Chain A
Amino acid sequence: MMTLEDELSNKKWPKPPFEVRPPSTEPPDRERMLSEAVSQYEGSVYVREGRVVLRHLGWKGVVKPIPPGESAITSLARDPRGRILGATSGSRTHAFVYDPEVDRVVDMGVVDEDSTAKNSVVVTDKNVVYIGTRRDSGPGKLLSFKTDYRETLSWESSRPKFKAMDLPRPNEGIACLSYDRSRRCIYGITSQSGTFFVMDAEGHSCKLIGQVDELGNFSDCLIIGCNGRVYGGKRWGKMYEFNPETGGLIQLHLEIPSLAGRQLYNKVDSMAVDESTGRIYGGGTADGVLFCLDPTSLRITSLGKPTAQARVRTISVGKDHMVYGISGRRGGVAHLFRYDPSISELQDLGVPLAYSDQYWHGYEFDSMATGKDGEIYMGESDRISHLFIYYPPIR
């Protein structure tokens, strides 16, 4: 019987790409070309246009950041002064604020436990912040606080007073929130029955409109179009619209794009509006196909897939009118992508890798917001998470 050692001595090994030579001799062309290819390959997977940095969820080197397991950032919103407010999900939900002026994150406290706050932070033009949470079962929370902009001053108390508000449905939580500046109201969906509601941001009266999906299969994101109507996603890639003029929910005869035969698995994953054109951009869960919805013509256009992965987990329109988003399933490796509407170019920018404040690959992201100077905030949603900031290149 042939032993493993006999087998090894007779084995035909794969040929090395080039022969080993004494280090002092000039490498032949083939070796030089392969070495060059290797150095190009090494960094080619990372975002190389613009700059990626991250900030710890706490003043680095001074306080402990929001702990592992409770730091996944799942909501981001910009306040009128340009600060970024956010909420985390996990064993505890924290509210936090990042102030670009002092360039640090401040943990404002725990608002719920064993909870998710997905797309559920909004800031009104009166500087009132609303945070909604949900749990796997039972009620979540709806809280508000008035920001006095002192949260990031190191010599002031950074703990705002959270005010608990009545939930739209007492035994449910909040799936998502969206603030309508022109009507000064908050739209939202409850977490279990998927009931669309409208809440007066000043008087806090709340009106239940109805279930957005008969089978309870709905997206946890809403977008307010420039026409004042609210758009959302439901089962099998379908969409609906809320018209605040009539107060009615309308099922749209639209389907967001997926690969053939996969509509049953598809749902709107994320949406953002370009206020300069009124176009709404979004992505689907099943295959990560990016689309554009024209609310005037009610026409959806497929813009393609930025990567080979499923999902478009979060999306934001930059001040440069580019659409930035994160492609990638949970448990995978996230890619930042960009869509340039002026030349209809969809481009995978690569994996977000930060060197400052810490060398760190960003693998999971579930929220985004555009800053006042056009910087893109990306909420990492891993067991240990950071606030990533992407500075697009100056054009």
Chain B
Amino acid sequence: MTGGLGVYLVSYDPVADQVRYVLDVAKALGESPDNGHATHSKIHYCLVPSDDGGLYGATHCTGAPVGDFVWRPWNSWDDPIRMFTGFHIFRYDLATGGVEDFGSMAPNEGSRAMALCENHRKLVGITYPRDHFYTFDLKGNEYRDLGRIGEINSQSVFLDRDENAYTVDDYGCLVKYDQASDRLMHLDARLPYAEYREGSYNLLYDSVPSPDGESIYGVHWNVDIRLLDNRLFRYDPFDGPEGNIHDLGWAYRPEEAGPASADFQNHHTGGLVFGPDGYLYFATYVHWKEPKGMYLIRMNTETLERKELGPIMKSDRVMAEYVAKATIDFQGGLYFATCASRPTGIFAYRPGARHGRELSFAEVRRWG
């Protein structure tokens, strides 16, 4: 609830096992958190490495102005002081630490999720709160608002091998940004949902490309509405004119958890990442046994067999409450980012296997 706080960029060096604060992002973008506006307080699934040696980011809002203790965009939309000035897109140079600020994109709006189309030199993303789809051309420095795609933000924008971008509307129907025609298409292909539901609030939380680049694995977003089911899916974008979505069932629900039905329990699943061993790893909230909290799960995508690897906890045995996203390092180490508990943190898991070569940035992560 503290107003006047900004976002910082943090790095972790696995060799030195050291976390460092490397950039006061808000200050570097000329948006000092004490300027009276709603602050640039987050980077929300909008940090992507590029093969050009940069880290592309877009800022986000919802941090209260200094001196205030709550802030919502609708309440301050026309307030010239308390309004959010609009998200910036920037490039952080990993070698020099320099920042290139591409400017403020859309007044009042934050960026909720973003992907980098490396070959097209283009960023694509979703704004908050109005849920507009945008593109930003890095060559021409041109921002385009393609209009509203829904009400509740999907939390992920993913890419196929041709860099067409996808997200979903409120009903889980895929919204495709077609690179060739430079326009949005609303597809009938739809995320799976339980049979008793009519399919609304069918939102995407996290997604990851398969190691062969042909499929996307993803999971529902359900932490805000706990009555929703929580399913994994696989999307094959080139299987048929609209691609093909396969329901892989509840993300993780062993027999001891009871029947797979919606309840008021936390079923959050996030941090999807493929390990160098070819398994899909993800974190899911376990509420049916102690200690409650996020657990690391490993899934064989051929057999769909899940294996519970254990609770995600610190050395003081405090459990991770919410794992958002995950990534992989050049050595094959997996990293899971946690929030919703103080302090926030990064958990590392080393599956043992290693990639036989150094990964390109595009193989590490193409979307936030």
Interface positions of A (Cβ within 8 A of B): 4-5, 7-8, 13-18, 34, 37-38, 41-42, 44-46, 61, 67-69, 307-309, 332-333, 351, 358-361, 363, 382-384
Contact = CB atoms under 8 A, between A and B. Distances in A.
A393 to B, nearest CB: 22
A5 B20 contact: yes
A14 B74 contact: no
Interface string B1-15: 111110010000000
B77 A333 contact: yes
A358 B72 contact: no
7 contacts: A16-B2, A41-B70, A45-B74, A61-B198, A68-B148, A358-B151, A360-B151
B129 interface: yes
B226 interface: no
Interface residues of B, number: 35
A383 B72 contact: no
B55 to A, nearest CB: 16
B186 A8 contact: no
A8 B9 CA distance: 12
B1 A34 contact: yes
Given A14-B4, A14-B66, 5 more contacts: A4-B22, A17-B1, A41-B75, A383-B147, A384-B150
A44 B75 contact: yes
Contacts of A61: 198
Interface of B: 1-5, 8, 20-24, 34, 66-67, 69-70, 72, 74-75, 77-79, 129-130, 147-152, 170, 184, 186, 198, 200
Given A14-B66, A351-B74, A363 B130 contact: yes
Contacts of A38: 1, 69-70
B321 to A, nearest CB: 14
Given A358-B170, A383-B148, A333 B2 contact: no
Contact of B2 (A17, A46, A361): A17
A299 B214 CA distance: 70
A129 B340 CA distance: 56
A13 B2 CA distance: 10
A332 B78 contact: yes
Nearest to A359: B151
In order of increasing CB-CB distance, the 3 nearest A-B pairs are A383-B147, A14-B4, A17-B69
B2 A41 contact: no
A375 B327 CA distance: 53
A14 B75 contact: no
B74 A333 contact: yes
Given A15-B2, A67-B186, A333-B74, A4 B148 contact: no
Contact of A14 (B3, B21, B24, B200): B3
A102 to B, nearest CB: 20
B148 A384 contact: yes
A38 to B, nearest CB: 5
Contact of A307 (B2, B70, B78): B78
Contact of B148 (A14, A15, A382): A382
Nearest to A18: B1
A20 to B, nearest CB: 8
Given A41-B72, A61-B198, A68-B147, A4 B21 contact: yes
Contacts of A17: 1-2, 69
Contacts of B151: 358-361
A68 B1 contact: no
A384 B146 CA distance: 12
Contacts of B78: 307-309, 332-333
A61 B129 CA distance: 26
Contacts of A41: 70, 72, 75
A305 to B, nearest CB: 11
Nearest to A31: B1
Contacts of A8: 8, 21
Nearest to A4: B21
